[in-house]
Structure 1
Amino acid sequence: MDPNAVIGPAWYCGLALAAVLGDAFLPFLPSGSLVILAVLKTAHVDGSPLLLAAGVAVASFLGDLLLLNLARRGAPGVHRRLARRPRLAASVERVQRALTGRTTSRAAAVIVIVARFVPAGRTVLDVAVGHSGHHRPWTFLRWSAVAAVVWAAYIVSLGWLNLHWFDTAWLSFVISCVAATAISSAVVQLVRRRRRLAVLVEGE
């Protein structure tokens, strides 16, 4: 077996998983695009979509867990970031009020899952839950795991389907990224119309 046939895909997968883990802290990372690129680069490997989706889900959940713990412990870096970004701090406060108010378990689950599809929504949610002394973190982490699986299945499926619809990898990549951006924008517009979910995007 050609070593490059294994090393190349592994490198793309590692980069994608690192981005998924890190975008909880740095939401500007192009994690979705890198996952789609990894899907395209590992298409020749049997079972790669399922393995990649599982890895993405785990990395996404671990990112939430790490940021949540840092926020709960009052990490200086988290406080400095909130101090430098008033809009982020305001969004965190709104999410805290939404989660600690009269929010049903179902409504909280929807907020956690939808946050995965809203730019920076994941970061806001993790910090808000970490700073909230009234919200049970294990309840949040349960839904965070569900959200991680949902997003992983969505982004990997998007890349895989476009790979099979178009003849060239570069066209599949472009179409997949455009589609992901369009879907994310549509979700933002949808949550702006829902009072409960609007806390994720207000003030942007």
Structure 2
Amino acid sequence: MGSAALLTAAGFCALAVLAVLGDAFLPFLPSGTLVVLAVLKSEGVAGAPLVLAAAVALASFLGDVLLLKLARRGAPFLRRRLARRPHLAASVRRVQHALDGRTSRTAATVVIVARFVPGGRTVLDLAMGHLPHQSRAFLRWSALSALIWAGYIVALGWLDLHVFSTVWLSLAVSSLAATAVSTVVARVARRHRRLSVVAPLVEPAGPTPLGDAA
């Protein structure tokens, strides 16, 4: 791979990592799509999938930490956002009530599942910001869910890269596959009592490309 191609691959990887970091605040960002595209564009770079997965997991976790701290401090822009979006505020209150007092295992499952539901990560971060007694445990669950999601989305791009002959066909198949996964996760959450708190998070926004990041 030439120097120009390396710079292009590095640029896509940097953009993907920044999108993953930012989609805790802006869940409409197509972070999953950009991660898959970064995998496809870095074809031929030794160790690129592993490095990208680690960077994506770290960015996802740091995004949670930043939003959690801002929510805990009552950042003015978050208060304005909740005031302008009563449905989001209601979802945050519902999650707070549902998670407060839950067992550690159940809460961890909810955090991991929400990573795959559009908008779930944002609502959970905002809710946990007002449950300070659970914040340490939440950070552990967030780190685990970030690793799982990063491994999943990078592996999806890597597998498609080795199955299909073109970048855009691989990207299209990855998008369809990940959207299907998000849809299945949402339906399972609605039917499972322990995870029912996650289901309402998908109602206002609908599916987004490659689900939500983590």
Q: TM-score surpassing 0.5?
A: yes
> Following the alignment from structure 2 to structure 1, what is the Cα–Cα distance between the partners of residues 129 and 98?
14
1:39-78 paired onto structure 2 within 5 Å: 39-78=39-78
**What is aligned with 2:26?**
26
Give ranges in structure 1 of 5+ residues lacking alignment.
none
1:99-114 paired onto structure 2 within 5 Å: 99-101=99-101, 103-114=102-113
2:148 paired residue among 150, 153, 166: 150
Count of residues in Structure 1 that have an aligned counterpart in Structure 2: 202
> Following the alignment from structure 1 to structure 2, what is the Cα–Cα distance between the partners of residues 136 and 170?
42
1:161 paired residue among 159, 162, 165: 159
| SS across alignment from 1:165 | coil
| SS across alignment from 1:177 | helix
Deviations 1:20-55 (A, max 9, x none): 000000000000000000000001101000000000
Displacement of 1:195: 2.2
Would the aligned equivalents of 1:35 and 1:156 in 2 still touch at CA under 8 Å?
A: yes
> Following the alignment from structure 1 to structure 2, what is the Cα–Cα distance between the partners of residues 108 and 41?
37
Would the aligned equivalents of 1:91 and 1:201 in 2 still touch at CA under 8 Å?
A: no
> Following the alignment from structure 2 to structure 1, what is the Cα–Cα distance between the partners of residues 69 and 53?
24
Higher relative contact order (CA 8 A, sep 6+): 2
| SS across alignment from 2:27 | coil
> Following the alignment from structure 1 to structure 2, what is the Cα–Cα distance between the partners of residues 153 and 2?
27
1:171 paired residue among 164, 169, 172: 169
> Following the alignment from structure 1 to structure 2, what is the Cα–Cα distance between the partners of residues 2 and 192?
49
- Aligned letter for 1:179? A
Give ranges in structure 2 of 5+ residues lacking alignment.
204-214
Would the aligned equivalents of 2:187 and 2:199 in 1 still touch at CA under 8 Å?
A: no
**What is aligned with 2:125?**
126
Report the TM-score when normalising by structure 2: 0.91
Report the TM-score when normalising by structure 1: 0.96
Displacement of 1:107: 0.2
Would the aligned equivalents of 2:16 and 2:38 in 1 still touch at CA under 8 Å?
A: yes
**What is aligned with 2:79?**
79
**What is aligned with 2:5?**
5
Deviations 1:137-183 (A, max 9, x none): 11100010000000000000001001111111111110011101110
State the Cα RMSD in Å: 1.2
**What is aligned with 2:207?**
none
> Following the alignment from structure 1 to structure 2, what is the Cα–Cα distance between the partners of residues 191 and 86?
23
